[in-house]
Chains A and B, each alone.
Chain A
Amino acid sequence: MTAKWPAGRRRLFGALVHHVVRVAVAAVFVVPLLWVLAASLRVPGLAPPRAIEWMPNPATGSNYARIFVLVPMGTFMLNSLIVVGLAIPLTIVTASWAGFAVSQLPRRLRRRLVISAVLLLMVPSTALWLTRFLLVRQLMLIDTLWALILPALMGSSPFFVLLFYWTFQRIPEELFESARLDGAGALALWRRLAMPLALPTIAAVSVLTFSLYWNDFINPLLYLKSESHYTLPVGLQMLQQMDKTNWPLLMAAAVVMAAPVVLLFLSVQRLFWPEGRLAGFPVR
């Protein structure tokens, strides 16, 4: 049908189809999340919906208050915040140190470390958790929040080390040379020269670290025993076990847990798109 149209109109038609497809695809990804949001606003105890609801009638926000009463959500949230608050600065320091050191190494060694980090990045934690558990137990860190923060000592993820490395190696070598001639040591170079030039990377790694620790379910599941130490993910599981069918409450808890990560992501998403070129994105 389109073949009979003049070229101009055909192009217009193509652009229209393209646009509609883009909107539809985006909707497919967002709609399930909207369903969850709608479910969290239902009055608990009412008969379950018979048709899809975009906005429950009557709607209520009381589920959000109820979850804090039913389980110590406030404590869980505080624990999560403590973990995240300690993990982010630790990660920034160790990952940027490692990235900086790698960027200053001779070529061959640098290449080996970069490849080893890529491989390390792909080691699934499940392949390690049993013996890691025994180690944590040996360190007497079971049932403490420290057990959760431990990975921050290695920069949390080799990916963060790589991100810092990619950023630092784009800084012109002459800058470092002249600072070195002025007698600056490695730490001073890192603090005064490298880090101020890596602010977008620091922001990106902070956000990624936040979601890594905020979302972490497996480690608290393995290491935490007492309820007063629970972080949000295990707290959510606890809420689920209390009442498996109270969907409005469970969905409210899921929204509470997801909201900070979603907001953080939306506020920094520009950094992650290729045009934004998070200084030194892996592609060149």
Chain B
Amino acid sequence: MLSPYLLGTLALVALPAFLSFGLAFTLYDGLAAPVWRGLQNFSEVFADPLFGTAVRNSLTFILLAVPLRLLGALALALLLRQRHRGTGLYRAAVYLPTVIPDVAYALAWLWIFNPIYGPLNLLLGAVGLPAPAWLAQSNTALPAIVIMSAFQIGEGFVVLLAGLQDIPQDYHQSAALDGASRWQCFRFITLPLLAPWLLLLTLRDIILSAQSTFTPAYLMTGGGPYYATLVVPLLVYEEAFDRFRFGQGAVLMLLLFVCVGLLLLLVYLTVRRWGYGDDR
């Protein structure tokens, strides 16, 4: 009964990963038979100035978005952990943007970020704040994508909510009896007990940014203006499926794979010590 899952994983994950190793050393356009060309693909990729741009953009996105999303999810989980009247409604509201399909979400924010009559700038103008051109301006385009990603934090929110729920109530009660302030309770009880979840969510967010940045960059900015939102997955897509340079595409995938692999090793080390999800 395990076999469909194992075979599927083998065919759809292991085999493609293995193939990209081979492909990275060949000249291949998807039509003619691949030709061996050694390390030439690698040197071409590294020589391409767009490669540096894409890596820098992706790293900037990670540095801005991951802490913002994590802190947002943590703050929301703390705010909405106790059940009062309306909590269910508020939680649903917070989760709502996360369930919106990527394409619809990207189009929606394209409208919201519209520099002239988008609702965001109308709002900023009404309260007298400066209204940047967002996606049309190279220094605000990437931050704009970070902002819209900060609204889709439902998964982290639920995980941290569950993590909070799991901290026994008496820890806090006995700490309060000993005269601990609310901040001390948070700093010395809640935070350490949540730490594994926070670490796991951080790593997951970093890794999945290799995937989640594609749709906004592709649909909203096309990587522009002036390559300001050219992120790594978009570069992979363009190399492979626009220019049919599968070899170079494979090199990029391989590099992505190595980075992801290193991060996954970190995840593994965390999870192993901690027995993620396994019974007791």
Residues on A facing B (Cβ under 8 Å) = 19, 21-23, 25-27, 29-30, 32-33, 35-36, 39, 48-53, 94-95, 97-98, 100-102, 110-111, 114-115, 118-120, 122-135, 137, 150-151, 153-155, 158, 161-162, 166, 169, 186-187, 190, 211, 214-215, 217-218, 222, 232-233, 236-237, 240, 247, 250-251, 253-255, 257-258, 261-262, 265-266, 269-270, 272-275, 281-284
B88 on interface, CB distance cutoff 8 Å:
yes
Interface residues on B, range: 35 or more
The interface stretch among B48-56, B171-179, B204-212 is B204-212
Contacts of A233 in B (CB 8 A): 101-103
The interface residues of chain A, by DSSP majority, are classed as helix
A127 and B104 contacting across the interface, CB-CB below 8 Å:
no
A128 touches B76 (CB 8 A): no
Residue of B87, B211, B236 touching A130 (CB-CB under 8 A): B236
A-B contact pairs, 15 of them (CB 8 A): A22-B80, A26-B93, A52-B126, A94-B5, A97-B2, A115-B268, A124-B233, A126-B236, A128-B20, A130-B250, A131-B23, A132-B16, A232-B101, A240-B107, A269-B88
Q: Which of B4, B20, B104, B256 contacts A124 (CB 8 A)?
A: B256
* B111 x A130 contact (CB < 8 A): no
User: Does B161 count as interface, using CB distance less than 8 angstroms?
Assistant: yes
Residue pair A250, B111 in contact (C-beta under 8 Å): yes
Q: Which residues of A contact B16 (CB under 8 A)?
A: 128, 130-132, 135
Q: Name B residues whose Cβ lies closer than 8 Å to a Cβ of A.
A: 1-2, 4-9, 11-13, 15-17, 19-20, 23, 30, 76, 79-80, 83-84, 86-97, 99-105, 107-112, 114, 116-117, 119, 122-123, 126, 151, 158-159, 161-163, 165-166, 203-204, 207-208, 210-211, 214-215, 219, 232-233, 236-237, 240-241, 246, 249-250, 253, 256-257, 260, 263-264, 267-268, 271-272, 275-280
Across-interface contacts of A122 in B (CB, < 8 A) = 203-204, 207-208, 260, 263-264, 267
Q: How far is the CA of A265 from the CA of B9 in the complex (A)?
A: 28
On whether A265 and B95 interact (CB within 8 A), knowing A115-B272, A151-B12, the answer reads yes
Q: Please give me the residue from chain B that is nearest to A186 by CB atom.
A: B1
A102 to chain B, nearest CB (A): 7
Which A residues are CB-close (under 8 A) to B97? 29, 32-33
Q: Which residues on A sit within 8 Å (CB–CB) of B271? A: 115, 118
Asked if A119 meets B278 with Cβ closer than 8 Å, knowing A29-B96, A49-B117, A51-B122, the reply is: no
B residues less than 8 Å from A128 (CB atoms): 12-13, 16-17, 20, 253
Contacts of A98 in B (CB 8 A): 1-2, 4-6
Does A130 contact B253, Cβ atoms closer than 8 Å?
yes
**CB proximity of B10 to chain A, nearest CB, Å:** 9
Chain B residue nearest in CB terms to A19: B84
Q: Which of B4, B80, B204 has the most CB of A within 10 A?
A: B4
